[in-house]
Structure formats: structure tokens, C-alpha cells
């Protein structure tokens, strides 16, 4: 059976996650919604002892406050070498996140199996195998890499990792058919806050500045007000002196208070005063049932959480100062302020953003605040991944849109797999040829003639040189407006923190910033240095904001003279994947990039790296005199920076 594969967009959120798919007609972005119409899936994973299985989403979140409480806000631990207990399992953050992504994938697959209209491939199975996953703009390299690994563990081909504010700008441009302009995207989600200043010119998106706080979101507003409630209840005599860090029972009690704080926040988003009546909603540490009843005013709530909102405004001001410095785009130049994230429903947030940031923009844009990131990621995914059509013996990737507002539609495609002898491709409507072309290295461009119908169901035929059909695939073409979409020149992601290269020479560290914070991706830089020994390898470190994230190893001939130039080219793609190549004596040399060490070996590797940075003093130097004890041996037993030292370091990693 034929299949149609069009990449999806996923917002892997701290509190909630969403998945979306842009129809080939490009008139609508389909977002998954369950039978109750809920478009968001809680980013919660729990273990079901009875079924011996993981549960995800609303079912997992419903277990809050029980012995089988879910793991939530795992996004905050992405990129950390930690394990989290989940039932009988110890899982990494990316393994837990992969459960959420697998659930999203399965639910979208179910939705597409219901055959939404105008799919672009009539009578073809709709598959979900490729995705663009979004991350906060302030995510660093290890966090982005962990997100990509989570997608792969979920069985997805991650074709891109897109920063959330950029995704939101892409969606609003697509939805409102906006032209060129400067955007400020204010993204206050459940667990993180991001702000990005973007410029769109001719469909090309460029991120000018980013700022934010990985540990500030709607969850923090809830916890701040929950602590206020806890203190108020304690004053009434309840035993609520809690140690949430060390006591599991205390954590469960506080989580129930947080849930009450969340309900109050949501009520105050639509009314000035909320009457709250919660009888025996939790038991205190003495076993007494706790009840809360009274009126809560919006002004009282805002007084408790106001400083957190002001922190977000400060982040925006820093981002604007940076964009003014590098691109002369300041507050007076911002034409669109976009609000993203469920926490932007808080009236205080809307008011402060309008007062402080909408000098030229007027009212902020607030379309689909919960889902616009996933919707924008779906638009971007369709642009990056195109439409893949195939069956067992043939696979064709259509890279261009399948919609045109004129009677002619230009279609670019690549035949990635075909029967032997395939040399031509054509589009047919019944017995009528719409377009034909020869394959040139598997690629072809068709100019398809369209009628007046909104949709043209056709057949894509792969043929031999003499026109004998070898394979046929269903395809549909559409008449209509092609909405704005990012161009191939867009640099939709930027480096969140400086990436530096560090080399150790003579016991001294030399560090150079290669890719500065805010640089658009993809990026490529070159660094030239000279060998200082004949150890057979040069070991460098790639640092992010002074923290080592990779080890770069260039193996060179042992007979290479000291002082020989080594040129290293470092490439960083849109997903912050690093590739390196070195040139020594006019010859290209492989440069190995080692992944971060596993948790159990981290201390050993760091010890080896410290040896390279700070080798022991030589005899007769420093505290070791000619008559003193010999200097202490290194942990590896190898000269720091030598090829033997590097091989020992790699063995420790493995």
C-alpha cells in the first residue's frame, strides 16, 4: 500500500505538550485533540504497577498526591547526567521525555488514520515518522542534544530542533499573512520563560537576540502563591511546617496546595475576586484535614507574584538592548509582540507586557497561546521535510509546496528509491498528462497544469526511458493561496551561549570564542593553532559558557614537526550538532568529537581533563625542590595531553 509521510511539529513543553500537522493544501494546521477537545497533553509520566506499564498525559497527572505520583517538569532536567526514579525504573530525562513524545506520535497517528480531508495523497496510509521538536531559546547544546535523543528514542527522525519563540512567530506570520516586520516573542510557559527578538524580511527569519530564564514559568507562579497559602494556613493552626526537599509526604501535601493555587490563578484570570471553598482538600503533618474558604482578590494575588512577572520584563529589556546593539532594532522598532504559553492568560502579564513592550505594536497578539508553538513547528516541519510518498519499491520526496494560486504549479522532487531503469517521472490525471520530465541524478522539476478545481487527484508515475511505467504513487495538487512560510535562508535558531575552543599548551589554557551567543545557525568557523609536541594527537575542548561539553581530538602523524599548523573547521547546524574537520600539512584529518561522558565516568574524565589543564609541577619548580619528594603521579599514568592520555580518556568514557 502507498504511504504519505509529512513531518509533524511537536512542542515538548515543561507542563503540557502538543503535536500538529500542516495539511498539504496549507489551508489548515491540524492539531491533535482528544475526544473532550483537549489539545494539550500533560507532560507527565507515571508507572502503573497493576499493568506493569508507563502511563502518560492526563492519566499520569491524575495520580498527583498518590504513592504512584508522576514525574513532571522533566524538561528542566534535560541535558543533565542524572537518573530519575519512576516506579521500579531509573531513567534519564531524555528517556522519560521519549515516553511523552511516543504518546504524541501514537495519538497523531490515530488522528491521521481517520483520514482528514485534502491529505495530498488519496488512498495512501498517512505516517508519522519525522518531526521538528521545539526547545526554549535559552536551551544550551547538551539540552538540545538530549531533546533530539528523546525524539530518536520515541522512534522519530528528528529533522530539526526549532526554538519556541521562532516557531510562534512563524505561526502568526502564517495565520495572519503578515509581511516583513520585527517581532518580540514573549513565551511564558509552565516551566520556562523565553524572549526572542526576530526580524522577518522576505520570508527570511533572523533571530537578533534572546534572553530568558530556564527556571521561571507558570509553575513558579503557582508555587509562589502556594507558599503564601501554606503560610496563611499555618497561621490558622494547621501543622504545615513542611520540608519538601527531604520528605516525600511533605512534598505530596505541598503539591495539593500548589494545585489549589493553580485553581485560584485560573479563576482570577477571568474575575477580579474569586470565592474559594475547599473542604478537607489535604491532611497536614498531624493528620488533621485542612480546609480553605474565603475571597481572594486579583490585586492580592498580583502582589504575591508581581516580582516574578517583573523578572520577565527585565529579560525582555535585556534582549531589546542586545538587538539594538547588534542590529539597531530596539523597542521603537517592534511591530508585533506575540504572547505564547498558558501563563500569558494571567491579566498581570498581559498588562505589564502591553505597558512595557507594546509602544508601537499596540495590543499583543494572543492567538492560540497554548498551541501556537506546535502549530508553527508544523509549518516549519512541512518546509524542511516536504512530503514523502512511497511504497515498498519506490520513495519520492517532494520538496516544494503542493499548492498554487495560478494554473501552473512548479513541483521539485527527488526520487530516492526506484525500480531499476527509472529515468523519467510524470504527473497524470487519469489518461491526461499534467507534466513530464527526465530524472537528472534522481531529481526533477515538473510544471503541473491545474484546472479550476480546488483539488486535483493525480498519479505520480516513475517510468523507463521509453515511457513504460515502473511505479505509480497517488498525489494531490491544490489551487489556493500559498501562505507565508520561512525561506531556505532563514536562520531560525541561534546559539544560546558562547561556544569556545580550548587548547592546552605548556600547562596553560588558551581559549577562544568561536561562535558567539546569538549567532544564527547553521554556522561555520575556522581556528588555526600550532602543535607543541609529537604525541600523535591534539586534544581540545569545546566549551559552552566555560563549561566543557565536548572533547575534540585531532590525530596527527607522530613525525609531524613541532610547530606545524593545524586548521580546525567547526560546524554547528540548526540543531546544534557539532561536526569538525582538521587540515594538517595540506591533508584533511579526521577530528573526533566525543559525547559527554556517562554519569558513572564523569568524575574520572573530569580528573583527566584537569590533568591537562593543571599538570603537576616539575621537579625543582614550585613546592617541589631538587631534594623533595617526586611530584604526584597523574590518575591516568600518562603525560597530560598525550595520545596515551587521550586514549585512556576515551577508554574511561566507554
pLDDT tens-digit map of 555-593: 778 888 888 888 888 888 766 777 878 888 777 776 666
b/e string for 50-69 if b means 16 or more Cβ within 10 A?
eeeebbbbeebbebbbeeeb
Region 47-56: mean pLDDT is 94
* 15 and 49 both lie in a single domain: yes
Residue that is last in its domain, among 381, 403, 420? 381
Residue that wins the pLDDT comparison between 259 and 180: 259
Region 543-553: mean pLDDT is 77
Lowest model confidence (mean pLDDT) among 54-68, 85-99, 161-175, 629-643: 629-643
pLDDT at position 552 is 77
Q: Using alpha carbons, select from 181, 179, 147, 183 the residue that is nearest to residue 165.
A: 183
DSSP 440: B
Region 178-197: mean pLDDT is 89
End-to-end CA distance of the chain: give it in Å, rounded: 43
Task: State the Cα–Cα distance between residues 38 and 57, nearest whole angstrom.
Answer: 11
Dihedral of the alpha carbons of 344, 373, 484, 362, in degrees to the nearest 10: 10
* 414 and 361 both lie in a single domain: no
- Indicate the pLDDT class of residue 151, thresholds 50, 70 and 90: very high
pLDDT at position 118 is 58
Residue that is last in its domain, among 479, 506, 521? 479
| pLDDT tens figures, 422-465 | 999 999 998 899 999 999 989 999 999 998 888 999 999 999 98
- Indicate the pLDDT class of residue 623, thresholds 50, 70 and 90: very low
Q: Which residues contact 459 (CB under 8 A, 6 or more apart)?
A: 427, 428, 429, 472, 473, 474, 475
* 522 and 456 both lie in a single domain: no
| pLDDT tens figures, 332-345 | 999 999 999 989 99
Region 470-475: mean pLDDT is 93
CATH of residue 333's domain is 3.30.420.40
Number of domains in the chain: 3
* 553 and 567 both lie in a single domain: yes
Using DSSP, state whether 460 is helix, strand or coil. Answer: strand
* 324 and 417 both lie in a single domain: no
Query: Does residue 239 belong to any structural domain of this protein?
Result: no
Residue that wins the pLDDT comparison between 491 and 620: 491
Task: Please check the confidence at residue 315 and state whether its pLDDT lies above 60.
Answer: yes
Region 537-544: mean pLDDT is 79
Residue that wins the pLDDT comparison between 285 and 467: 285
Task: State the Cα–Cα distance between residues 357 and 316, nearest whole angstrom.
Answer: 8
Query: Does residue 270 belong to any structural domain of this protein?
Result: no
Percentage of the chain beyond pLDDT 90 is 53
- Indicate the pLDDT class of residue 487, thresholds 50, 70 and 90: low
pLDDT at position 534 is 77
Task: State the Cα–Cα distance between residues 154 and 131, nearest whole angstrom.
Answer: 11
Strands 181-188 and 336-340: parallel
pLDDT at position 451 is 84
Q: Check: CB of residue 477 under 8 Å from CB of residue 403.
A: yes
Task: Please check the confidence at residue 628 and state whether its pLDDT lies above 50.
Answer: no
Region 318-344: mean pLDDT is 94
Query: Does residue 534 belong to any structural domain of this protein?
Result: yes
Query: Does residue 376 belong to any structural domain of this protein?
Result: yes
Helix, strand, coil percentages (3-state) for the chain, rounded to 5, are 30, 35, 35
Q: Check: CB of residue 450 under 8 Å from CB of residue 409.
A: yes
* 324 and 438 both lie in a single domain: no
| pLDDT tens figures, 257-279 | 999 999 999 999 999 999 999 99
Task: Please check the confidence at residue 100 and state whether its pLDDT lies above 90.
Answer: yes
Using DSSP, state whether 352 is helix, strand or coil. Answer: helix
CATH of residue 645's domain is 2.60.34.10
* 409 and 507 both lie in a single domain: no
Task: Please check the confidence at residue 618 and state whether its pLDDT lies above 60.
Answer: no
CATH of residue 474's domain is 2.60.40.10
Cis peptide before 522 (omega within 30 of 0): yes
Q: Check: CB of residue 133 under 8 Å from CB of residue 158.
A: yes
Task: State the Cα–Cα distance between residues 630 and 639, nearest whole angstrom.
Answer: 15
Query: Does residue 240 belong to any structural domain of this protein?
Result: no
Residue that is last in its domain, among 479, 514, 533? 479
Region 582-610: mean pLDDT is 56
* 520 and 466 both lie in a single domain: no
Query: Does residue 180 belong to any structural domain of this protein?
Result: yes
| pLDDT tens figures, 499-526 | 888 876 656 777 888 888 777 777 888 8
Task: State the Cα–Cα distance between residues 165 and 211, nearest whole angstrom.
Answer: 11
- Indicate the pLDDT class of residue 376, thresholds 50, 70 and 90: very high
> Containing domain of residue 414, as a range?
386-479
* 144 and 109 both lie in a single domain: yes
Query: Does residue 292 belong to any structural domain of this protein?
Result: no
pLDDT at position 206 is 83
| pLDDT tens figures, 388-427 | 999 988 999 999 999 998 999 999 999 999 999 999 999 9
Mean pLDDT of the chain: 84
Q: Tell me how crowded residue 314 is: count the other CB atoms within 10 A of its CB.
A: 12
* 540 and 610 both lie in a single domain: yes
Question: Cα separations (Å) of 619 from 464, 508, 509, 616?
Answer: 77, 18, 21, 9
- Indicate the pLDDT class of residue 596, thresholds 50, 70 and 90: very low
* 554 and 451 both lie in a single domain: no
Query: Does residue 221 belong to any structural domain of this protein?
Result: no
* 17 and 77 both lie in a single domain: yes
Region 29-40: mean pLDDT is 93
Amino acid at each position: 500500500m502507498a504511504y504519505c509521510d509529512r513531518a509533524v511539529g511537536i512542542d515538548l513543553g515543561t507542563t503540557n505538550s502538543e503535536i500538529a500537522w500542516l495539511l498539504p493544501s496549507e489551508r489548515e494546521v491540524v492539531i491533535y485533540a482528544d475526544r473532550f477537545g483537549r489539545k494539550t497533553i500533560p507532560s507527565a509520566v507515571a508507572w502503573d504497577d497493576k499493568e506493569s506499564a508507563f502511563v502518560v498525559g492526563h492519566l499520569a497527572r491524575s495520580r498527583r498526591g498518590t504513592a504512584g505520583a508522576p514525574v513532571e517538569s522533566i524538561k528542566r532536567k534535560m541535558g543533565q547526567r542524572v537518573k530519575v526514579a519512576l516506579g521500579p525504573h531509573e531513567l534519564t530525562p531524555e528517556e522519560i521525555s521519549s515516553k511523552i513524545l511516543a504518546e504524541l506520535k501514537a495519538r497523531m497517528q490515530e488522528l491521521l488514520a481517520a483520514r482528514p480531508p485534502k491529505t495530498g495523497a488519496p488512498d495512501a496510509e498517512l505516517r508519522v515518522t519525522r518531526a521538528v521538536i521545539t526547545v526554549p531559546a535559552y536551551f544550551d547544546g547538551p539540552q538540545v542534544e538530549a531533546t533530539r535523543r528523546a525524539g530518536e528514542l520515541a522512534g522519530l527522525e528528528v529533522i530539526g530542533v526549532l526554538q519556541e519563540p521562532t516557531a510562534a512567530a512563524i505561526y502568526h506570520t502564517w495565520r495572519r499573512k503578515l509581511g516583513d516586520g520585527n517581532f518580540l516573542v514573549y513565551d511564558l510557559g509552565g516551566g520556562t520563560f523565553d524572549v526572542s527578538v526576530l526580524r522577518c524580511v522576505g520570508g527570511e527569519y533572523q533571530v537578533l537576540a534572546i534572553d530568558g530564564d530556564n527556571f521561571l514559568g507558570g509553575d513558579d507562579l503557582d508555587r509562589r502563591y502556594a507558599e503564601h497559602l501554606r503560610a496563611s494556613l499555618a497561621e490558622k493552626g494547621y501543622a504545615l511546617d513542611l520540608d519538601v526537599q527531604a520528605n516525600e509526604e511533605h512534598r505530596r501535601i505541598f503539591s495539593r496546595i500548589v494545585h489549589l493555587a493553580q485553581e485560584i490563578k485560573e479563576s482570577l484570570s477571568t474575575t477580579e475576586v474569586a470565592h474559594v471553598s475547599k473542604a478537607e482538600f489535604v491532611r497536614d503533618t498531624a493528620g488533621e484535614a485542612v480546609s480553605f474558604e474565603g475571597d481572594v482578590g486579583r490585586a492580592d494575588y498580583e502582589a504575591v507574584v508581581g516580582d516574578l512577572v517583573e523578572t520577565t520584563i527585565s529579560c525582555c529589556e535585556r534582549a531589546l538592548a542586545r538587538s539594538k546593539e547588534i542590529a539597531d532594532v530596539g523597542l521603537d522598532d517592534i511591530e508585533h509582540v506575540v504572547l505564547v504559553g498558558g501563563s500569558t492568560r494571567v491579566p498581570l502579564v498581559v498588562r505589564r507586557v502591553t505597558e512595557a513592550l507594546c509602544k508601537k505594536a499596540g495590543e499583543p497578539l494572543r492567538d492560540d497561546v497554548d498551541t501556537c508553538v506546535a502549530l508553527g513547528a508544523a509549518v516549519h516541519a512541512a518546509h524542511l521535510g516536504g512530503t514523502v510518498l512511497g511504497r515498498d519499491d519506490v520513495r519520492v520526496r517532494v520538496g516544494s509546496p503542493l499548492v498554487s494560486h495560478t494554473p501552473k504549479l512548479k513541483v521539485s522532487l527527488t526520487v530516492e528509491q526506484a525500480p531499476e531503469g527509472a529515468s523519467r517521472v510524470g504527473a497524470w490525471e487519469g489518461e491526461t498528462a499534467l507534466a513530464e520530465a527526465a530524472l537528472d541524478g534522481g531529481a526533477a522539476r515538473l510544471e503541473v497544469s491545474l484546472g479550476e478545481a480546488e483539488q486535483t487527484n493525480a498519479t505520480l508515475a516513475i517510468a523507463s526511458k521509453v515511457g513504460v511505467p515502473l511505479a505509480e504513487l497517488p498525489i494531490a495538487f491544490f489551487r489556493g493561496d500559498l501562505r507565508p512560510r520561512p525561506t531556505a535562508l532563514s536562520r531560525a535558531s541561534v546559539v544560546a551561549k558562547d561556544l569556545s575552543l580550548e587548547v592546552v599548551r605548556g600547562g596553560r589554557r588558551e581559549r577562544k570564542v568561536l561562535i558567539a551567543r546569538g549567532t544564527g545557525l547553521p554556522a561555520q568557523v575556522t581556528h588555526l593553532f600550532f602543535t607543541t609536541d609529537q604525541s600523535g594527537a591534539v586534544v581540545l575542548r569545546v566549551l559552552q559558557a566555560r563549561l566543557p561539553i565536548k572533547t575534540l581530538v585531532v590525530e596527527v602523524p607522530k613525525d609531524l614537526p613541532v610547530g606545524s599548523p593545524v586548521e580546525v573547521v567547526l560546524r554547528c547546524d540548526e540543531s546544534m550538532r557539532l561536526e569538525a574537520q582538521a587540515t594538517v600539512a595540506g591533508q584533511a584529518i579526521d577530528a573526533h568529537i566525543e559525547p559527554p561522558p556517562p554519569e558513572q565516568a564523569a568524575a574520572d574524565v573530569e580528573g583527566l581533563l584537569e590533568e591537562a589543564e593543571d599538570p603537576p609541577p616539575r621537579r625543582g619548580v614550585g613546592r617541589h625542590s631538587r631534594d623533595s619528594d617526586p611530584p604526584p603521579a597523574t590518575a591516568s599514568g600518562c603525560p597530560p595531553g598525550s595520545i596515551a592520555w587521550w586514549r585512556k580518556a576515551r577508554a574511561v568514557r566507554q
